[in-house]
Structure 1
Amino acid sequence: MNVLHNSPQIRYPIGFGQTVLIALVALGLTACSTPPRTKPATITDRSTPVASAPAQEPVPPGFYRVKRGDTLIRIALDNGQSYRDIAAWNNITDPNLIEVDQVLRVKPPPSSARVVTKPIEPIKPVDSKASTDKKVAAKKVEEKEVASAEPKADAVDPPIKLSWPAKGKVVEEFNEAKNKGIDIAGKMGEPIQAAADGKVVYAGNSLRGYGNLVIIKHDNTYLTAYAHNRTLVVKEGENVRKGQRIAEMGDSDANMVKLHFEVRMNGKPVNPMQYLQ
């Protein structure tokens, strides 16, 4: 018979060095399992605050604040005026140079107002600079008092009756967002006629996108514009009659031979088809 003997348990004494090692290991494990608590750092914003641009004062009725890219011709067209009148009302000697943020009178002054007249330089071609930040040096000229020949700004004219300015097919209809008038196709050199009696307030090519352009002012309310002509046969300041030849059809600043015809009521584009007879 086999007799099983229990093996005696052997105990090894732990020395002082081992005790210290075990204690250090235990502390290390505790440190790994519990991260130290640190106080969040206080962040101080020492940057210089950015000063906000001062708000511009609203422009009173009858005035306009010049924006970058504006030209006096465009401002005049959008307000139903002659650029020469706006130049005179604002003592501008060179209509090619206007200032960004400059406030311009775009409606006739009261008839009793004192107006300073100055010689006005010709408008430059379309590649000239638009509005600029540089101030225009005023030229010394003799002042003289003039009475405004313009009707009152609040005068109301009856709806205008227009004749067709050209013969041809309407290839592009009025769309206030995309086409501020109508486009009439035709042949090179065909006559362009004044749609109503009036005065030529612009004849030139300084308004980008319009080519050789004629603008006629009919009364205090209505303007008509005739664009993309080959040749202009009228001059600024000339009085014209309804049906009078004012230009020849062309394709200046356009992709085809056509007349772009606009009607402006107080400077706002309106559908010419409502006025053509």
Structure 2
Amino acid sequence: MTDRISSVTRGGLVLDVYDEGPIDGDVVVLLHGFPERADCWRLVAPLLHEAGCRTLAMDQRGYSPRARPRRRRDYQMSELLGDARALAEAAGGRVHVVGHDWGAIPSWLLAIHHPELVASLTAVSVPHPQAFLASMVRSTQGLKSWYMLAFQVPFLPERLGRSRGGFLDRQLRAAGMTAEDVDRFRARIVDDGALTTALNWYRAMPFGDPRLSRGRVTVPTTMVWSDHDIALGRWGVEHTVRYVDAPYRFVELNGVSHWIPTQAPDALADAILDRVRSVGPGAA
């Protein structure tokens, strides 16, 4: 396709898309996590462009200003998958999908349920959904994920989040986020009115069909994880290979925190490009 994509509309919601790089390059879809927006890819995307790739970085539901429904159920996994599918279809399908943190979940689901749209998958930080669920009871992951339960409490996380230098800011710093990126979080999420709708990704977890997260991946896949990630442990990523029936690579980044796209952009870009090139030129 030769037209730039500035947004994707689905169910009355308008999701902003940042379409950059060579218009005729292999398409790489970039899906961000919590609590960031599409600009978390600002250091990775130019490296992909230099290699000839076109990137589509989307502000996902809850973050994009025209896509912030208030109900928790509007953020269940089927809706996240639907948004990712809509972007892949708008790009003509056979896209290379990259997702970090929460963005890895719709990426995994798209590869599981719509492999015809996915040329390759690079999951960053978050393992296959089934491996993650297993890790909650077979490792220390349940303890690492304490915040998921805390975020279910109404109003309190928002109150803590609105306090500059308060609890949420300190937790983000403890997780390895730089002071500059905490300031970006405050401007792009808190001050822009997206904190509650971003938290709704967690609050929607009790809704929806858990069977959606089951299934095997049949597209070439790379799992990227960093050993200083305090939110995601080793067990889930090491067992992800059990759920992939395709060429698979595990990339471990040493000395890097959870925020891989901004703290190890060169290594992440290399992993993405290795996976894209493994599929062959023009696959997207």
TM-score tier (shorter): under 0.3
More helix by share: 2
- Greater relative contact order (Cα < 8 A, sep 6+): 2
Structure with larger Rg: 1
Please give the TM-score of this superposition, normalised by the length of structure 2: 0.21
